[in-house]
Structure 1
C-alpha cells in the first residue's frame, strides 16, 4: 500500500512554485522546428506511414492531461472508445460496443495476462502514471494479436525495456493532487547509460478517497438508499515500480525488465469488500536488423506474469483468491521482398493457468493453451497500398472440474479444442497530398473463454448466477470498415468513418428468465440466472473527428470535435446488445500564447434508449470541462508542464451507459472537481 509519507516529498506547492519561477525565467523566442507525426506501432509490423485500421494515439501533453486512475477512464471519450466503469478503480476500455475478452489490452505489445476480463470489478494492472504512450486500434486486430482482439487493441507503452541508446542521464517526475477522488499521486522515471547499455528505473504511488459526485439517491438491487454525494467504498491505494536495461549492438538490441504492481481498492457494489491485488511481471525482448538472405529482421518477445488478487471481507477474512500465471512468446520475422511484396511472418504462443478459490468462486481451475501462425503482406500498387494477411490458431481450454467430489457444480475434468482461422484485406488510397480513403474487410474467429465454457455459480459483482456452456463453438464475425480523411499540416484534419460487424455466432450473456435459489448465511435468496449462449448479432457505427486552427500568430486558436455512434443488435431476439454507449459528441476550443494553453470542452452523451429488456435506459448528460496548462523550461536541460483542470463545471449528475446496471445506480460519473499537477523532464 502507498503511505502518504511516500508522496509528501513531491508536495504540490513546491512543484507549483517551480513551474511558475522556471517558466518566468526561460521563455524561448526561437522558432520550434516542425515535427512529423510518429509512426503508429500497434498493428503495423512493417512500419508503414499509414495504416487502414482507425487508430488513436495519446502521448506527451495530451496524455498528461487525460491521465486517470484507470486505463479505461484515461481513454474514454476517444472516438469509438468508452469504458466499463465499475466505479473509479476498475474500468476496462470498451471499443465500438465490445468489451471484456474481445478487447486485447497489451503492455509494450505483450499480453497483460490478468483476471480483468473475468469480472467488471477486476482492475487492469497497468497504471497510466508510468505510461508514456497509448495506442488504441479500433476494429479487428486478430491477425497479429489473436482471435480475442476482435474488437480492438489497447497498447500501453513505456520504456522499461529501453528502445533507444541513451548517453548520460535523463528523467521525468510527475505529481498531481485533487480531483473528485481527492487523488494524491506521484511518479518518477530515471534513465541513463552509454551507447552500448541503457538502464531504466521507475516508481509510482497513488492514494485516493471515496469519489465525490453530485447529490443523488443510490439504487441497490432496485432499492433506493439514502441520498449522498459520495460513491461508497471507492477509495484506493496503488504503488509499483520497475527495473530494466537494454544492450545495443551494431544491428540490434536485447533487453530485460522486471516490474511489480500492487493495489488495494474498494468494490462499489459490496460496501465492506476490498480487493488486494499484486502483479509481478518479467519481460524480455530482442531484435536483429539488416540481415542478409531471406530474412531481413528478426524480433522476439517473452512475457511472464504472476498475478493474484484477494477479495477481503469486512471481517478481514479472505473470501476468494484469484490467481493467474501465464507466459507469452512471440517471434516475428520480416522477409526479403518478393518482387513488389514485402511482409512479416510470425508465431505466437500463450500458456495461462487460472484458479479461483473461495466462497465466491464461480469458475473452476482452468488452463488455456494457444499456438498461432500469422503472416501479413503488403503491396504498393497504382490503387494505393494493399495489405492482406492470415492467421491460424489452435486453442485448448481445460477445466480441472470439482476440487471436492462432494461439490458437483463444475463436473469432471474436461477440455475443449478449437481451430481458428482469421483473414483480412485492406487498402489505403491517397487521392493527393491531403485526401485519402481506406477500406478494410476482415473475418475473425475467437475461441470461448474458460468462464464462458465452465462458469457455474453466483457472480457477486453482477448479482447474478452465471452459467457457462461447455458445448459452445467458435465465435465468428465479419467486419467492414471504410473511411475518408483529409489532412493538411499538423493542425488541419478531418476523418469520417463507418463500420459494420456481423457475427454469425456471438457469445452473449443473456437472462434465462429463471431465478436460482442460493443458500447464504443460513438463509435462501433468489438470484436471476444468466446463461452464455451463441446468437447472431450485428454492430455498426459512424465516427467523425477533426480539428482546425482558426488563428495563427502570437495567439493561436484551435477547434476540435468528435461524434461517434454505435448500434448493437441481437439478431435472434431483436433486442439491443447490452452496455453500448449512446451517440456522443464533443466540441473543444483551445487558445494558446507564450507557453500557456487554455481549453474549454463540452461533452454530450445522448439518452440511451436502445437497451435489452434486462437493462434500464440511461439519461442524457452534458458536461463542461476547463483546463489551463503552461509549458516551462530552465536552460537547455529541463522542461515541463504545469496544469490545472476543472471537470464537470456544472456539477451535473451523469451515468455511464456502458457500465452494468448493478453498479450504474451506485456509481455516477464524478462531480465538479479541481485537479492540478506538474510534470518535469530533464
Structure 2
C-alpha cells in the first residue's frame, strides 16, 4: 500500500499511456413529480447533463419523483420510463431524447428517417430541486483540484459557507456560523467522525479532492432524511458512480492521470485511476498523493519565528496518500457497490494547535445497495472505518532538541442505514428509514522517556469511549400543483454515551490520584433522546419567481471529548483543543444536547428561460438552547484551575442560550454571448452572519465577518477563464473569553484558466495575485513555533498553480 509515491513519480509516463477512469457522478437527487421538461431541467442543473430534444417533444408529459442516489443514466432512465420516448447517450454528458423508433421493420425501410429539430437545454439555475440546497458546479470541482489539496476548500464560494483553519488538508467548513460536529458531513454516504482531541482529522480530510465528483450543501433547514445529530446543516460529498459497458459490447476500459504544482509551499502531487467493466460489473482503482512545505504569507506577520522567516507560516507542511478499490455489480434493477480504501498521512503540521500530526493511518470498507421497484426504491449501506492517529511535535515546534510528548488515538466508526423512497402517487413521495452508528474511542498518552512530568505511567485522556446512536425518520413530500411543493419530516434518535476509568501519568501519591479517582467515581453513562422535525414549502409564482419558507428543530448530542475530557491540569487541558485558539479545555459529563430552532426563507428571481440573470436572497435565524460554549475554568473534582503565565486561558465547556442570524445573497448575469467571443458571465456571492451568547451577552466564536466573492467567467469552446475578487470586512466581533484575535479587512484577486482538448485538460491560475498580507478571520491563533497569544494565522501569499489531466 505504501508504493503509491513511486507510482506517482511515474505520472508523466502514466499520462502518456493514458490510463484512467471516466468519472460519471453519483448525485443525490430530490426532484418531485412535475412536468417532464422541468424535471429534465432540474437534472441538467444538478449534474451538468446536456439534453437534446425536439420542440414540443415533452409537452403534456409528467415525470415521476426522483429521490435517492442516481447516475446521469439512471436519472434519465427513470424520468423517461413512462414517457413513451427513447433516448441515446451521445457522450458522457449529452443525451438525445426522441420519439420511439418505428415498430415495423418494413415501415422503417420504406419511410424517410425522421429528422428532429434540436435545442440544447443548458444547466439551469432555477432552484427546482431540494429546498435550501446548493450543488457545486462540476466544472468548479474540476478546477479546484489544481488550486487546493484541502477538500473542504472546494466548497469556497458556496453561499453561507466559510472555513475554520487547520492543517493543510484539514480545515473545517462553517455553515451559517456553525462548524465541526454541529454539521453532518457525509463522504460517500458514511457519517465520519474525527478521532483526535484536536480534531486534526475532520470528515472531509479523509477524501482527496481528486476523488470528489459531486458535492451538496444543505444549510440549516436540512430534511430529516439527509442528516440527524446535527444543528447547522449537512454536507454530502460523493465520488464517481460506476460505469458499465453497454450490453453486448466489448469491455469498457477507461482511465485518468493528473499532476499539479503550486509554487507557494512547493506543493505537488497527482492522482491516477483506472477501471474495467462489462455490462454487469466494474472494477476501479484510484490513488492520489500530495505533499507541501510551509507556506508563505503575503509579507511579515510575526516576530515570534526563530526557525523560519517572519513571512513563513510555521507548522503548515503536510503529506498525504489515499488509495481505494471498488467493485460494482449490476443486475436489472439492482446495484451493489463494495468499496475499500486506505489513507496514510505521514505528517501534517498545524499552525494553530500546540501539537502536530505525526501519523494518521486509516482504512474503511463501504457497502452500498440500491434496488428499484414499481413502488419506488430501496437503499442500504453498511460501513466500517478504523483510524489510528498519532501526535507529537514536528521540527518547527521543537523548542528544545529533546522535546517529546507522544499522544495516540484509536477510533472505530461503524454504521448501518436503510432508506425507502415510496411513490405514493405521481405527486406524493414518502420516505422512511433508519440509521445506526457505533463509535469507539481510546485516547492515551504514553510516558515521555526522561520526563519527570510526563511519566512514569500512561495518561488516559479517554478510555473505552462509547457513543452509539440509532435514529428512525419519516418524510413526506407533496407536489400539490405546479406551483406548490411541501415537505414535512420527523426524526427520533437515541444517543448512548459512556467511558471507562481514566488515569494520570503519576499515581504514586494520594494527591496525584485524587482527580482521576474523583472522575472514575462518577456515573459516566448518558442517554439522550433527540427529536427533530422540518417543515418546508416552495411556491413557484411564475416562470420568473420562486419562494421558499422553512422551519426546523434540530438536535445534537455532545461528542466524547465535550463530555469526557476530564483533567484540570494545565498541560492536559492544552492538549484538548479542537477550535484552534491556543487555550486549554475540560469537558463536562452533564452537558445537555444542543437544540436549534431555525427559520429561513429564500426568494429566487430569474429570467423566464433561466439563462440570462438570477438573484437569490436567503435570510435565516436560529435560536439554540443548551449551546455548548466556553467559560473560565471553575474548580472541580478537587482541583482549582488558574490561567498560566503564557497569556492563554483555561476553559471549561457549559450549556448556554444563543442565537445566530444572517443572510446569503447570490446572483449572476450573462453579459456577453456570441459565437465569435464566447460567453461572459458576472457572478457574486455575499454572506453575513452574527452569533451571540444570550447568557453572557458576548459574541460566539469564529463568526465570519461580512464577505463577498465577485467574479467574471468567460467561456469559449474548450477555454474557461475566471477573474475573481474575494472580499472580507474587518473582524471586530470576537469572543473575549477565548482571546479570539481581531483581523483587518482585505481584498484578494485570483485568476484561473483551463483548456480542454479531446482527452487533455490544462489548468492554470494565480491565487492572491497582488500578494496581499492578510489574516484569516477564522484561522485561529498562530502558535506555529511558539505558544504566544495575540497573532492570527495569516492567509497564503501569491501562488502560481498549474495542473494537467489526461483521460482515456
Q: Which position in structure 2 is the counterpart of 1:570?
A: 693
State the distance in 2 between where 1:671 and 1:473 align.
42
State the distance in 1 between where 2:689 and 2:155 align.
17
Q: Which position in structure 1 is the counterpart of 2:614?
A: 493
Indicate conservation of the 8 Å contact 1:69/1:89, yes or no: yes
Q: Which position in structure 1 is the counterpart of 2:236?
A: 155
Aligned-pair CA distance for 1:210: 1.0
Q: Which runs of 5+ in 1 are unaligned?
A: 16-32, 634-638
Q: Tell me which moved more, 136-145 or 303-312.
A: 136-145
Q: 1:380 to 1:14 in 2, by over 3 A?
A: closer
Q: How does 1:90-101 map to 2 (within 5 A)?
A: 90-101=170-181
Aligned-pair CA distance for 1:456: 2.4
Normalising by structure 1, report the TM-score.
0.88
Indicate conservation of the 8 Å contact 2:413/2:438, yes or no: yes
Q: How many residues align?
A: 649
Q: Which position in structure 1 is the counterpart of 2:317?
A: 235
Q: Which runs of 5+ in 2 are unaligned?
A: 17-39, 49-65, 76-126, 395-401, 447-458, 508-512, 568-572, 784-789
Q: Which position in structure 2 is the counterpart of 1:630?
A: 755
Indicate conservation of the 8 Å contact 1:176/1:677, yes or no: yes
2:45 maps to which of 31, 34, 37: 37
2:261 maps to which of 161, 177, 186: 177
Q: Find the residue that maps to 1:234 and give its secondary structure.
A: coil
2:628 maps to which of 507, 523, 542: 507
Aligned-pair CA distance for 1:661: 2.9
Indicate conservation of the 8 Å contact 1:368/1:450, yes or no: yes
Q: 1:434 to 1:448 in 2, by over 3 A?
A: same
Higher strand share: 1
Aligned-pair CA distance for 1:491: 5.4
State the distance in 2 between where 1:296 and 1:65 align.
36
Q: How does 1:253-268 map to 2 (within 5 A)?
A: 253-263=335-345, 264-268=347-351
Indicate conservation of the 8 Å contact 2:779/2:793, yes or no: no
Aligned-pair CA distance for 1:644: 0.8
Q: Which position in structure 2 is the counterpart of 1:20?
A: none
**Does residue 597 in structure 1 map to residue 720 in structure 2?**
yes
Q: 1:114 to 1:224 in 2, by over 3 A?
A: same
**Does residue 82 in structure 1 map to residue 82 in structure 2?**
no
1:334 maps to which of 404, 411, 421: 421
Q: 1:601 to 1:338 in 2, by over 3 A?
A: closer
Q: How does 1:333-412 map to 2 (within 5 A)?
A: 333-337=420-424, 340-358=427-445, 362-382=461-481, 384-403=484-503, 406=513, 408-409=515-516, 410-412=519-521
Q: How does 1:217-616 map to 2 (within 5 A)?
A: 217-218=301-302, 228-263=310-345, 264-269=347-352, 273-291=356-374, 296-314=376-394, 319-337=406-424, 340-358=427-445, 362-382=461-481, 384-403=484-503, 406=513, 408-409=515-516, 410-412=519-521, 414-457=524-567, 458-460=573-575, 461=577, 462-487=581-606, 488-490=609-611, 492-512=613-633, 516=641, 528-553=649-674, 554-555=676-677, 556-613=679-736, 614-616=739-741
Q: Which position in structure 1 is the counterpart of 2:115?
A: none
Q: How does 1:647-662 map to 2 (within 5 A)?
A: 647-662=767-782
> Deviation digits for residues 602-631 of structure 1, max 9, x if unmatched?
111001111122323211010000112111
Aligned-pair CA distance for 1:675: 0.5
Q: Which position in structure 2 is the counterpart of 1:208?
A: 292
State the distance in 1 between where 2:216 and 2:290 align.
23
Indicate conservation of the 8 Å contact 1:72/1:85, yes or no: no
Q: 1:630 to 1:491 in 2, by over 3 A?
A: farther
**Does residue 665 in structure 1 map to residue 791 in structure 2?**
yes
State the distance in 2 between where 1:191 and 1:583 align.
45
Indicate conservation of the 8 Å contact 1:402/1:408, yes or no: no
Aligned-pair CA distance for 1:241: 0.8
Indicate conservation of the 8 Å contact 2:741/2:780, yes or no: no
State the distance in 1 between where 2:796 and 2:741 align.
21
1:65 maps to which of 118, 140, 143: 143
1:50 maps to which of 108, 128, 134: 128
Aligned-pair CA distance for 1:401: 2.7
Q: Tell me which moved more, 665-674 or 369-378.
A: 665-674
Q: Tell me which moved more, 261-270 or 367-376.
A: 261-270
Aligned-pair CA distance for 1:490: 4.5
Q: Find the residue that maps to 1:216 and give its secondary structure.
A: coil
Indicate conservation of the 8 Å contact 1:352/1:367, yes or no: yes
Indicate conservation of the 8 Å contact 2:198/2:353, yes or no: no
Indicate conservation of the 8 Å contact 1:496/1:542, yes or no: yes
Q: Tell me which moved more, 188-197 or 119-128.
A: 119-128
Indicate conservation of the 8 Å contact 2:15/2:258, yes or no: no
Q: Which position in structure 2 is the counterpart of 1:109?
A: 189
Q: 1:644 to 1:560 in 2, by over 3 A?
A: same
**Does residue 132 in structure 1 map to residue 213 in structure 2?**
yes
Indicate conservation of the 8 Å contact 1:72/1:84, yes or no: no
Indicate conservation of the 8 Å contact 1:287/1:299, yes or no: yes
State the distance in 2 between where 1:77 and 1:364 align.
40
Indicate conservation of the 8 Å contact 1:2/1:237, yes or no: no
Aligned-pair CA distance for 1:587: 0.9
Q: Considering only CA atoms, is the larger Rg found in Structure 1 or Structure 2?
A: 2
State the distance in 2 between where 1:274 and 1:342 align.
46
Q: Which position in structure 2 is the counterpart of 1:18?
A: none
State the distance in 2 between where 1:496 and 1:224 align.
48
Indicate conservation of the 8 Å contact 1:180/1:674, yes or no: yes
Normalising by structure 2, report the TM-score.
0.75
State the distance in 1 between where 2:776 and 2:13 align.
31
